[in-house]
Amino acid sequence: MSEQLLKKTIVLGIETSCDETAVCIIEAARPEKSDIEHDFIDIPEQGPKIKVLGNALYSQIEKHAEFGGVMPSVAKREHSKNIVPLFIKALTEAGLYKTKKIREKMSADISEKILTSLNMESEMANDVIELFETTEKPQLDVIAVTQGPGLEPALWVGINFAKTLGTVWSIPVVPTNHMEGHILSVLVDSEKENKTISFPALALLISGGHTELVLIHDWHDYSVIGRTRDDAVGEAFDKVARILGLPYPGGPKISDLADLARERHTHGEEKNPLIMLPRPMLHSKDYDFSFSGLKTAVLYLVKKISTLSEHDKQNIALEFEESATEVLIKKTREAMIDKNIRTLIIGGGVIANKNIRLAFQKMTELEFVDLNLLIPNIEHSTDNAIMIAVAGYMRFTNTSKVKDPGQTSFRASGNLSL
């Protein structure tokens, strides 16, 4: 496919569903309908080409650490404070930020509308008014914003900001599903490598709020075939970390501790037979998961040992990581066989874990020769705006399947499903 045949679209992505405020600008292109060799094929197999032009992300982790988890009111305040500066940063990086020669005062009714009807925090509303008064309309074709799932007060900040930009600058706004973003995060960097999704594909989504196996029949056509019955795997990592006295978010810290134990074992140290954890639902005849019992088992183990040495903590972290990995691998493998899967996608913050990445790479290489395994790089595994821009872009361009892409009447949806 030659470059001229690809229509380029500039997409602004906005993500505020949890504790990351993220804004990005991507350039995306996909084959025009006329390039498709066979008319009866609705969507070409060749995926889009994605190039990141600007990316700005502020992690609020430190603001939430003292509470041991994400506080919605703090998240909302921090998003409101940071979203406009991050937008300017991403625009600047993309070479799209241009200030007006003279500040143009907004008419009273428009600024009134921004201040009141969109129900923004005053700090953000003032930033937004200043932005419109001082900034030339940038060359953006579409705005993608996370609609859900996530914390509603946090989601509203991104949505209100996106709607205001869309209304004042006449740019269509596409509400985007955060989990579809995690799925399509594997397409980032597709300018460099050909990242094709062949259907049927399977997505294993492992994050702080979700653990799901999703069968993908076609673009945007999903069936959730398995899910956690209680805690998400990322949540279990965070809770086990808390039990071991580690600060939020615990996932990366558990992984570091597990590595230390692994290191000792490779140097010949025997595993402590007392530190054993269950593999929940390993043999259940479905694709569901359960991680709450595993966390409780850690709690009992810690109580039994009473004074935990550093080595005990490392051994528990390793055993927990291995248990979670084994269950994730087993269920995914079964679904892949049963559903004749051609592409496996793994998305969500937990796939930033290098041992889980490695375990999936090894398993698929050994057992599924023709499989296309797509995993986002580590920085795009945890929440970011690029995945939202990619997912929004795909929705926007698949207009045959998506109604009213430019709508602005949508609401935040904390429990939005795929």
Strands annotated E in 219-310: 221-227
Q: For ligand KG4, which is the closer residue by CB, 166 or 349?
A: 349
- Residue 207 or 343 having the CB closest to Zn ion: 207
Q: Extract the tokens encoding 26.
A: 């991507």
Total residues contacting ligand KG4 by CB under 6 A comes to 20
If one asks whether residue 376 binds ligand KG4 (CB under 6 A), the answer comes out as: no
Using CB under 6 A as the binding rule, the residues of this chain from 236 to 265 that contact ligand KG4 are 237-238, 249-252, 255
Helices (H), 121-250: 122-134, 152-169, 178-184, 233-243
142-148 β-sheet, strand order: 49-59, 20-31, 6-15, 142-148, 173-177
Helix (H, G, I), strand (E, B) or coil at 36: coil
- Pattern 203-242, Zn ion, x by CB under 5 A: ----x-----------------------------------
State the Cα–Cα distance between residues 317 and 323, nearest whole angstrom: 10
β partners of residue 321: none
350 binds, among Zn ion, ligand KG4, none (CB under 5 to 8 A by kind): ligand KG4
Nearest-angstrom CA–CA distance, 245 and 240: 9
Residue type at 19 in one-letter notation = D
Footprint of Zn ion on residues 370-399 (CB under 5 A)? 383
Stretch that binds ligand KG4, among 8-16, 114-122, 233-241, 409-417 (CB under 6 A): 233-241
- Taking CB under 6 A as the rule, which mask of x and - marks residues 330-349 in contact with ligand KG4? ------------------xx
Question: Among residues 282 and 378, whose Cβ is nearest to ligand KG4?
Answer: 378
Nearest residue to ligand KG4, by Cβ distance, number only: 349
CA angle 368, 236, 207 (to 5 degrees): 55
Q: Of the candidates 90, 155, 158, 170, which has an alpha carbon nearest to the alpha carbon of residue 128? A: 158
352 lines the binding site for ligand KG4 (CB under 6 A): yes
**Interacting residue with ligand KG4 among 25, 52, 341, 350 (CB under 6 A):** 350
Q: Candidates 44-52, 222-230, 231-239, 282-290 — which segment interacts with ligand KG4 by CB under 6 A?
A: 231-239
With CB under 5 to 8 Å by kind, the binding choice for 164 among ligand KG4, Zn ion, none is none
225, 214 contact by CB (below 8 A): yes
- Residue 341 CA, chain-centre distance (Å), reads 22
Residue 7 has φ and ψ, to the nearest 5°, of -85, 125
Q: Which residues bind Zn ion (CB under 5 A)?
A: 207, 383
Contact residues for ligand KG4, defined by CB under 6 A: 18, 207-209, 234-235, 237-238, 249-252, 255, 348-350, 352-353, 382-383
